Each structure stands twice: as C-alpha cells, then as structure tokens.
Amino acid sequence: MSRGSFVFTPTALRSLLVDEDLLERQMYAKSSTTSRFNSYLLKRADPRPTPTAHPPQVCHDLVVHNALFTGDLEALRRLFPKGSSANLIVESRGGDMRWVSRNAGLWSLTYEQELTTPLHIAAGRGFSECLRHLLQRGADVELSPAGSTALHEACENGHAECAKLLLSYGASANAVSEEGLMPLHMCTSPASLECAKYLLQFGATVNGRSLEEDNTPLHVAAQHGLPGHTELYLRYGAALDRRNDEGSTPLNAACSRPQEAEDLGRYHDVCRMLLAAGADVHTGDQDNQLPLHMACKNVNPDTVDLLLRHGASVNTMCYAGDAPMHNVLKAVAYKATHQPERIVRALLNHGSIRVWPGALPKVLKYCCDSPRTIEVLLNAYDRLKITDTWVENVPPDVFQTHRGFYESLFSLAQGPRSLQHLARCKLRLVLGARVPSAVPKLGLPTFLQNYLLLEFRDYVH
C-alpha cells in the first residue's frame, strides 16, 4: 500500500516512519537462531565471551511473565529449576501505541513491544532474591536485547542490592548502552547513591563520557542536584573542568538545570561542593553564559550569594547580550516564590548595572507581582519620574493585594526622594562594588548598615 493511498490520520502516517524498527524486532523474535541477535548486544570497550552457547529463546509464556513481573520467587524456582537456562527474551508491552502490519496490507493499532530479559525485569524492579536465583541459573549479565544491560536497569531505578549482585556475578561497571551511557550515567536519583558506590568499587570510570551529550557522571550528578553523588565522585577524583557538548562544566550544569523551589537547597549544596573543590566561576558555556547567569535565570538566591562570594562577575554579558540582572528580571513573573528580590539586591550590592530608567515601566509591568523586587530595584536610583503609565502597568488586583507598597510608590510622583535615601545613593555610588565588604567596616549601627545594603521595608520613600 502506497503512502498516497494510506487512509489513516497524519499521526498514523508519522508512525510508519518507525515501523521498520519494530518489524525488524518481530523478525528477530520469530527466529531465535539467527545471527540478528548480535546487533542487540552491548557495544563494549573490552568485550568478553558470553557464557551462552546458543542465542536465547523468545518466551511467550504468560505464566513466566507473571512470575517475573510480580517477583514471585517460588514460582520462579519451579519455572527455572536446576539445570535450566534463564537466558530468555521477553516481549513486554510498552505504554506507547503504534500502527503495526502483521500481515501484508493489514494494519492494526497495538501496544509497542519492548525486548527485555528475566534479569532486566528482576533488576529493574528490585526483586533481589529473584535476581539471585536467575544468576544462579546462569543468566547472562551482559545480555542487552534492548540496548542496555540489567545493571543499567538496576542503577536507573536505584536498586543497590541488585546492582551489587550483578557486579559480583561479572557485570561490567563500564558497560556502554546503545545510547552511549554507562551505569554511572544512570544514577540520577538520590536513591541511586549506593549503586554509584558499588559501581566505583567495582572499577567504574569516574570520568567516563556519555556518547551523545559528552557528560561525565559529575555532570549528571550536578544536573540532577545530587550532593551525595557529587561528594562521592569528587572523592574518587572526578574532573571539575571537563566540558560537555554544550561547553558546560559540572558547575555550569548545576546552575543551568531548571529547579523547583523544594530543590533549590540540593543544587546549592552541589555548587558549594564544586566550588570548595576548586571549580571556576568564570568559565562560560558555548553561549558564554557563566554559572551566575544561569543561577539568576533559575532564581536560586543562595547559589547566587555563593557565586558572588567566590568572585563571580555581575556585569559579564553572554552572547545574547544579557547580564545576570537581565536574567533574573525575566524570571520574576513566574518564579516570584523563589525570592528573586534577594538576587536583585545581591547583584546591585556587588555593582551590577541598573535598568535603563526608560525601561522601568516595562519592568514594573512584568514584575509587579513581586513588590520587593520593584522596591530594591527602584532604591538604586536617586530620582524617579513616575507617570500615569506606571499606574496603568499595575493591574487592579495586584494593586489591591500590595496596596500599601504601590501607594507609597505612586506618591513619589508628587515630590522628590527623601534626603535619607539621597544620602544612601551617594554613599553607595562612592563605594561601588565594595558595598558588601565596606559597609560592615564603617562602624554604623546595624539598622543603618542594613539600610545601605537595600534592606526590604515594603515601601519606598
């Protein structure tokens, strides 16, 4: 049947583009004695001979499938008695559906089939006793019909006991999947820390690179905000200056990952460990975005403070022409709960460039849900020209929510800033980027020091 006469939807037509792969797998499943199985074996730097003399058989027995997927150890002992082979290929049903041609010219919508093994199923679900039984029955730890080994499955799901079993039975800690990932690259959750420890004890390469993204395990730990993994890899000599295909070091990677409010602390801890180990805050990625640019973009105040204490430059621009201040102001509208006002204050105290006065009404429009951000930003100016446009850019509901602040702001249209504020601006101008270090040395009362450092008051005067 030609594409021109195909009568299904565009979605169905697009699914035909991937049918070739599925049909090849079906042909492979029907002929277990063919050499096609070799194309599914893991590509390894140091290949070892497989212990099986014959290609594994394809298992369609639902009783076996049920025992494997439920972790029924007693059933597995009956199904795999002493002397039997545990090297089987299992076709498990995936969650995606696609159009499949089972006979010439006849198409049906069915669930995608995924190739796996009993060892993969047990390791991926944490059935350690079932895994032990299969290993004792001679299951091949390097079998990889879908492109990854059972050890990859165990590490991805954080099942440390299963990973330890596989390693003790000869699984390679540096096996590379068809996607170019080693087991350490699969350790992406806090639960996988023990897996990472076992892998390193069994000789995993701490600086191994992934094929597509060129990430090291330290990049992966940084991207997922994993302090325990980061500390572990640094202890084993992980390189701090390695760049991935985006030009990012692990520190860049930790700062650039989108972060939910509850995850900010974990990413801060990762950055703290990397900086303590000697990571460079001045290294930019391929777009010349420094760690500070990305920490501001993801609105992580503690990480920004940390980077500034380590000498990060507040006015370096990336290739898009954005300084860190631009990045945080762009993010205020949808990350107001991350306390962006703290970042704006820290940048200004370290000598950041200010917003062009003519653009302040636009900033007010997009940042009005965070009045403290507006407050600290406007307190960096000795004079403001408040017009009707400013009032129009604050929606009525936002004005009512923060009525006290916006009434104090719009009242500035009637007169100049206070003498106290003008004195603050003058002193800050003299000190420049030395404000954070110089103000504590002036011997002023605490409330005056805080005033000079743009402490929040929830009104302007």
Say if residue 95's pLDDT is above 70. Answer: no
Q: Which of 268, 299, 321 is the last residue of a domain?
A: 321
- Averaged over 3-23, what is the pLDDT? 45
Say if residue 22's pLDDT is above 80. Answer: no
Closest listed residue to residue 63, CA positions, set 52, 72, 54: 72
> Are 173 and 216 within one domain?
no
> Are 387 and 266 within one domain?
no
Q: Which of 169, 203, 237 is the last residue of a domain?
A: 203
Contact 140, 36 (CB under 8 A): no
Q: Which of 158, 178, 203 is the last residue of a domain?
A: 203
Quick check: is 429 in a domain?
A: yes
Q: Percent of the chain beyond pLDDT 70?
A: 84
Domain that holds residue 455: 354-461
CATH number at 80 reads: 1.25.40.20
Per-residue confidence (pLDDT) for residue 44, from 0 to 100: 37
| 93 CA to centre of own chain | 28
pLDDT band at 415 (very low <50, low <70, confident <90, very high): confident
Quick check: is 337 in a domain?
A: no
> Are 19 and 168 within one domain?
yes
> Are 189 and 247 within one domain?
no
> Are 116 and 250 within one domain?
no
> Are 275 and 385 within one domain?
no
What's the domain count of the chain?
3
Please tell me the number of Cα atoms within 13 Å of 12 on its side-chain side: 13
Question: ∠60-65-66 over CA atoms, to 5°?
Answer: 140
> Are 377 and 267 within one domain?
no
> Are 51 and 114 within one domain?
yes
> Are 394 and 450 within one domain?
yes
Say if residue 389's pLDDT is above 80. Answer: yes
> Are 199 and 210 within one domain?
no
> Are 186 and 224 within one domain?
no
Quick check: is 392 in a domain?
A: yes
Quick check: is 344 in a domain?
A: no
Residue with tokens 């249209």: 413
pLDDT band at 103 (very low <50, low <70, confident <90, very high): low
> Are 210 and 194 within one domain?
no
